[in-house]
Homo-oligomer: A and B are copies of this chain.
Amino acid sequence: MFSKSCEYGLRAVIFIAQQSLLDTKVSLTTISEAIDSPQAFTAKILQQLTRNNIVSSIKGPHGGFYIEMEAMKTLNLSAVVKVLDGDDIYTGCGLGLKQCNEDKPCPLHFKFVDIREKLKYMLENTTLIMLANDMELDVFHLKT
């Protein structure tokens, strides 16, 4: 479904959001251990996310990554996916036609678009703060 980059990115963002709820900044090392992802690769992903204003970062001692409360309330999973995987998942044809077009549809178009829209709706309506709050319940996991 999503690329590895996107999977790590989503897990990282959820972990950072959870910690930001407690006003804690987290370092790359802490993040990659918490979500069980390759550290250097995760660093690259976090760079993309900070450049695109999903997460914030501060260099130096006591620095690290965090997410502004305002951003947590506004941002949804869709924003993260768009940064890391583009919007192919929202606009691409299920059978790989160069463009998904209602007027020249592939034989799977109508059935496929139905599911694609449900996925889109789900990602757009799941905010980071919702997930951060869920994580406080101790029933959800970000590794293994």
Q: Which residues of A contact B (CB under 8 A)?
A: 1-2, 4, 7-8, 10-11, 14, 77, 89, 92, 94-99, 104-109, 111-112, 114-115, 118-119, 122, 126, 131, 134-135, 139-144
Closest to A4 in B: B96
Q: Which residues of B contact A142 (CB under 8 A)?
A: 95, 97, 106-107
Q: Which residues of B contact A126 (CB under 8 A)?
A: 108, 111
> Which residue of B7, B105, B111, B135 is within 8 Å of A96 (Cβ)?
B7
> Does A96 contact B141, Cβ atoms closer than 8 Å?
no
> Does A140 contact B95, Cβ atoms closer than 8 Å?
no
Q: Which residues of B contact A115 (CB under 8 A)?
A: 115, 118-119, 122
